[in-house]
């Protein structure tokens, strides 16, 4: 009798877990979807204002000081995406004040034309929402990290309209070489609900159209060569951002002065290149690259702008800049190798992202959700190569390495 009872409890545990995470994932997904959509609208609005009034660029140094002040006042200085990753690793708290602070700081960064993305912010906002909701629901120490992952998935999904990528990214980013399988139902549910909410709030999903070159061995060889280049670029990207941040902090230990100087540098760079292509997120340049129309050193300039912006204390994320750098680099090198330039840009976008975040499966899903599936095998091979060759370089220093890539 006792044996049967035990068996029933054991069998019953699975549906109970399913029910719990459909509910909790759905709840966090709903909250994350709403806040993520509002965040998207805020960043977009700031960008519109900047484009309509180009002089706001000159406010950037002051905005930098305000951002530094916000972090000082709320005592979340030094907290970034790594704080969220560490929360998943060690159950550390994600300070709930980080949510409004990174939200406002990112909007201000985009308003002033700093070169940054939205996704680092999305992970922090989402992680904060998930962790806080989990604590309010009195989840245990085994479930709390999953709640944090739920929030990351939900806000990422709402911002980019890529729910499967968002869910898989959250499961994959925490450790190199380990996939967080227990997050499947929680993350997927949160990402899905976040996505549906964002659609209801009229956030357009990010989509591109790229021509399909068809599968053949020679094109694959060219893609492999391009992916090797992308791996190198992803290393440059990560190292560039990290080194700039480290040197800036050493030269200018005061965060107010640092942010002010960073703002001045971005203004100077902008005047120097004579275009605002490298300010803000630059999604329209990504679109042009995937249309095959970007040449030259745009990728390196974006890398420089982003390194200065993020390194000197502005906020946002590194993912859209990595899209930008990858797409422009792929457009140029792909075209040079003889690939259709737009297709090269698409490969470059996904491969540099993969090398920077060390998430090959999420990157393959990203290629599917952004571009459709015509060239899945090219993207998969490019991701595999960029993942391997980027070595232990990555955007997030808290990402633990549990298994060797080789």
In order of 54, 100, 324, the CA distances from 341 in angstroms are 31, 40, 14
Comparing CB distances to a copy of itself, the nearer of 343 and 365 is: 365
Comparing CB distances to a copy of itself, the nearer of 55 and 218 is: 218
Distance CA 287, CA 299 (A): 14
Q: Is residue 388 a contact residue for a copy of itself (CB under 8 A)?
A: yes
The correct pick among 7, 13, 49, 251 for binding a copy of itself (CB under 8 A) is: 13
Number of chain positions touching a copy of itself (CB under 8 A): 49
Site for a copy of itself in 213-272 (CB under 8 A): 215, 217, 220, 224, 228
Helix (H) or strand (E) holding 342: helix 341-357
The correct pick among 28, 60, 381, 395 for binding a copy of itself (CB under 8 A) is: 381
Comparing CB distances to a copy of itself, the nearer of 25 and 112 is: 25
Shortest separation between residue 36's beta carbon and a copy of itself, angstroms: 17
Helix (H) or strand (E) holding 175: strand 175-176
Q: Is residue 380 a contact residue for a copy of itself (CB under 8 A)?
A: yes
Q: Is residue 19 a contact residue for a copy of itself (CB under 8 A)?
A: no
Comparing CB distances to a copy of itself, the nearer of 214 and 274 is: 214
Q: Is residue 352 a contact residue for a copy of itself (CB under 8 A)?
A: no
- Tell me how many degrees the CA angle 187-193-194 measures, rounded to the nearest 5: 85
Q: Is residue 92 a contact residue for a copy of itself (CB under 8 A)?
A: no
Q: Is residue 283 a contact residue for a copy of itself (CB under 8 A)?
A: no
The correct pick among 178, 211, 251, 271 for binding a copy of itself (CB under 8 A) is: 178
Three-state SS annotation for 98-126: HHHHHHHHHHHHHHHCCCCCCHHHHHHHH
Q: Is residue 147 a contact residue for a copy of itself (CB under 8 A)?
A: no
Shortest separation between residue 27's beta carbon and a copy of itself, angstroms: 15
The correct pick among 28, 360, 370, 394 for binding a copy of itself (CB under 8 A) is: 360
User: Which of 296, 294, 320 has the alpha carbon at shortest distance from 309?
Assistant: 320
3-state class (DSSP) for residue 406: coil
Q: Is residue 55 a contact residue for a copy of itself (CB under 8 A)?
A: no
Please state the separation of Cα 88 from the chain's center in Å. 17
E strands along 203-343, which residues? none
In order of 223, 350, 398, the CA distances from 366 in angstroms are 17, 7, 23
Structure tokens, 310: 């993020």
Distance CA 287, CA 324 (A): 9
Shortest separation between residue 219's beta carbon and a copy of itself, angstroms: 12
User: Which of 402, 406, 378, 380 has the alpha carbon at shortest distance from 391?
Assistant: 406
Q: Is residue 64 a contact residue for a copy of itself (CB under 8 A)?
A: no
| Cβ atoms of residues 316 and 277 within 8 Å | no
Comparing CB distances to a copy of itself, the nearer of 11 and 271 is: 11
The binding site for a copy of itself (CB under 8 A) comprises: 11, 13-15, 17-18, 22, 163-164, 167-168, 176-179, 181-182, 184-185, 188-189, 192, 196, 215, 217, 220, 224, 228, 360-361, 364, 368-369, 372-373, 376-377, 380-381, 384-385, 387-389, 391, 403-406
């Amino acid at each position: 009798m006792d044996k049967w009872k035990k068996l029933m409890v054991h069998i019953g545990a699975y549906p109970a877990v399913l029910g719990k995470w459909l509910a909790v994932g759905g709840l966090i997904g709903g909250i994350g979807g709403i806040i993520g959509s509002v965040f998207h609208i805020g960043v977009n609005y700031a960008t519109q204002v900047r484009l309509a009034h180009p002089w706001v660029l000159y406010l950037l140094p002051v905005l930098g000081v305000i951002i530094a002040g916000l972090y000082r006042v709320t005592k979340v200085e030094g907290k970034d995406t790594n704080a969220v990753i560490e929360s998943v690793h060690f159950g550390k708290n994600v300070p709930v004040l980080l949510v409004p602070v990174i939200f406002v700081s990112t909007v201000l960064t985009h308003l002033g034309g700093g070169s940054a993305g939205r996704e680092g912010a999305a992970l922090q906002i989402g992680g904060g929402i998930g962790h806080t909701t989990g604590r309010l629901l009195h989840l245990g120490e085994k479930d709390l990290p999953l709640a944090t992952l739920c929030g990351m998935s939900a806000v990422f999904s709402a911002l980019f309209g890529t729910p499967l990528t968002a869910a898989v990214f959250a499961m994959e980013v925490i450790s190199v070489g380990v996939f967080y399988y227990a997050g499947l139902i929680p993350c997927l549910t949160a990402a899905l609900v976040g996505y549906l909410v964002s659609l209801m709030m009229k956030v357009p999903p990010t989509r591109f159209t790229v021509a399909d070159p068809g599968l053949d061995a020679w094109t694959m060889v060219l893609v492999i060569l391009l992916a090797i280049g992308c791996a190198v670029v992803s290393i440059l990207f990560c190292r560039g951002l990290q080194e700039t941040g480290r040197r800036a902090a050493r030269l200018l230990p005061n965060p107010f002065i640092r942010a002010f100087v960073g703002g001045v540098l971005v203004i100077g760079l902008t005047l120097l290149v004579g275009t605002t292509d490298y300010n803000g997120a630059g999604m329209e340049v990504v679109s042009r690259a995937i249309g095959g129309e970007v040449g030259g050193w745009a990728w390196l300039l974006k890398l420089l702008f982003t390194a200065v912006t993020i390194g000197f204390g502005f906020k946002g994320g590194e993912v859209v800049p990595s899209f930008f750098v990858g797409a422009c680099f792929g457009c140029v090198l792909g075209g040079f190798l003889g690939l259709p330039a737009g297709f090269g840009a698409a490969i470059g976008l996904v491969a540099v992202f993969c090398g920077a975040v060390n998430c090959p499966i999420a990157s393959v899903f990203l290629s599917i959700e952004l571009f459709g599936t015509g060239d899945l095998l090219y993207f998969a091979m490019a991701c595999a190569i960029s993942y391997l060759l980027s070595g232990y370089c990555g955007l997030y220093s808290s990402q633990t390495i549990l298994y060797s890539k080789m």
